């Protein structure tokens, strides 16, 4: 996971989170999903942004 803290968030702030899938890829363990993520403050400004990846296993 890579994240950038751009603005502070304080107690009682109302925040909104958003994630966007940018790529999926079949790997030996299952499906690798790469996503962009953002957290916006109550002024609709991006406070945190980043990228992450998760693997959904085949269940075998």
DSSP state, 44? S
Residue with tokens 């940018």: 22
> What percent of the chain is predicted at pLDDT more than 90?
93
Beta strands in 1-60 (DSSP E): 2-5, 16-27, 30-40, 46-57
DSSP state, 43? T
pTM of the model: 0.77
**Residue 34 in tokens:** 């790469």
CATH number of 2-57: 3.10.129.10
* 17 contacts 38 by C-beta, under 8 angstroms: yes
For the segment 33-41, the average pLDDT, to the nearest whole number, is 98
pLDDT at 35 over 70: yes
Residue with tokens 């790469």: 34
pLDDT at 24 over 90: yes
């Amino acid at each position: 996971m890579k994240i950038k803290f751009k603005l502070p968030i304080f107690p009682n702030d109302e925040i909104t989170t958003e994630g966007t899938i940018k790529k999926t890829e079949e790997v030996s363990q299952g499906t690798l999903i790469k996503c962009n993520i953002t957290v916006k403050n109550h002024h609709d400004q991006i406070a945190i942004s980043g990228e992450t990846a998760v693997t959904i296993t085949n269940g075998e």
